Structure 1
């Protein structure tokens, strides 16, 4: 069974997005007005238990997430594609890049505020807060404010919280929380030699630039690290136009290099 997904555009450059823990593909709606739909086809799947895939069950593991992403590309008939992984989805995207059959099809990779492949264990206070956030919208609001540096006001927090509530149920959030905080798949992230862009948010105090450069960048040979000015952890909603522009530029450079 294939994940549910949304499609924007019909261009020749194919891009698959892997979403974060807080919400499914609807978290990318803020970016839609800024997408180049003539040169790109953008596909936004929902992982199992989220949005259009809400009825799909599974073990909610990183390998399952990765296999499901590959299956979406198969279903679309894509022999080659680019992949974006945001936060939790970034851990799954790293796993995909390490799979021999997948990396032959992966034109390039963008990791946006990504969870490292070795997972991201939380300290005692963080674990308590994030666990509470699976059931309590008040605790979830605290998480949303924390990962965006408390900079964007109550309206933004309320918007993301309501989006999250509509997207995913508490049981699914608990399952994926265990996954991205505990599942170490770093041993399966080897051998990808294509271009990789590692993006971090200027104000992201959790998955920082230092953490990415220590834990993600060394996995790849053709890799560039860039800080998104004005963003924290939820860049697609905080700075949607800039996020789209930087990622599209990365993918188009790879297309131009391949064509020349």
Structure 2
């Protein structure tokens, strides 16, 4: 079993992207034209129950997501790769980075609006809303508006909702919701010594800069935290050019061994 995936570019620097809870790889369609395709090869897999992996079932755990990412890297034949984890995918990316097997560890890690490795429990109202959103388009629209700070208008919410309903199976979403809100993988996410970039949207009302710097940054030694102005929880959709530039810069510096230069 190999995750279905979408590939962009053919450069020598290999980058794997783990997607968010709301949608599969198609949620990044607006980002694709902005990526450097000469220096980088980008692969955007769909987790089980999403997009090109829509027929795949499983237990929808952090560990399963992580193992699937590692299996895909093996299938691609990549000897070295860089890993980006967005939101729910960030929790899985932290698990992958913590693996003791050297070949499984990414050369760099980017955590974009990431769920902490220990999970992110919701209060009763939030849990009810997110749970209802797995099957109710109106509730999902409310979630999309909420996580982007209600700043981007009905057209943006409608677009994200359409992509979400087209690419995400409700049963899989329910399974992953239990995972990223309730599973603590922090004990398995420790030990990564490579360069880490933690990105947070300035207007993210849920996975805030305070959450990132309190629960994610302390796990790592070679780590930088950067806030993306103009973005909330969906920077690849809200500020795609800036998001691409920050990630490409981090990956390129890591590949060149110059990660000590601060990003601005």
Tell me the distance in 2 between the aligned counterparts of 1:113 and 1:185.
17
Instruction: Report what 1:8 is aligned to.
Output: 8
Aligned positions of 1:1-260 closer than 5 A: 1-102=1-102, 105-257=105-257
Contact conserved, 2:70 with 2:104, CA < 8 A, in 1? no
Taking structure 1 as reference, are residues 104 and 180 closer, same or farther at Cα in structure 2, changes over 3 Å only? closer
Cα offset, 1:160, TM superposition: 0.3
Contact conserved, 1:79 with 1:105, CA < 8 A, in 2? no
Gaps (5+ residues) in structure 1?
A: none
Contact conserved, 1:103 with 1:192, CA < 8 A, in 2? no
Cα offset, 1:172, TM superposition: 1.1
Instruction: Report what 2:261 is aligned to.
Output: none
SS at match of 1:41: strand
Tell me the distance in 2 between the aligned counterparts of 1:215 and 1:109.
16
1:81-125: CA deviation from partner (whole Å, max 9, x where unpaired): 000000000000000010011566411000000000000000011
SS at match of 1:85: strand
Contact conserved, 1:67 with 1:96, CA < 8 A, in 2? yes
Contact conserved, 2:97 with 2:105, CA < 8 A, in 1? no
Tell me the distance in 2 between the aligned counterparts of 1:175 and 1:188.
20
Gaps (5+ residues) in structure 2?
A: 259-264
SS at match of 2:56: coil
SS at match of 1:120: coil
Cα offset, 1:189, TM superposition: 1.1
Tell me the distance in 1 between the aligned counterparts of 2:135 and 2:57.
19
1:158-201: CA deviation from partner (whole Å, max 9, x where unpaired): 00000000001211111111010000000101111000000000
Contact conserved, 1:16 with 1:82, CA < 8 A, in 2? yes
Tell me the distance in 1 between the aligned counterparts of 2:10 and 2:100.
28
SS at match of 1:216: helix
Contact conserved, 2:80 with 2:103, CA < 8 A, in 1? no
Instruction: Report what 2:262 is aligned to.
Output: none
Taking structure 1 as reference, are residues 103 and 205 closer, same or farther at Cα in structure 2, changes over 3 Å only? farther
SS at match of 1:106: coil
The TM-score normalised by the length of structure 2 is 0.96
1:178-235: CA deviation from partner (whole Å, max 9, x where unpaired): 0100000001011110000000000001000000000000000100000011000011
Runs of 4+ in 1 over 6 A off after TM superposition: none
Contact conserved, 1:96 with 1:102, CA < 8 A, in 2? no
Tell me the distance in 2 between the aligned counterparts of 1:106 and 1:142.
35
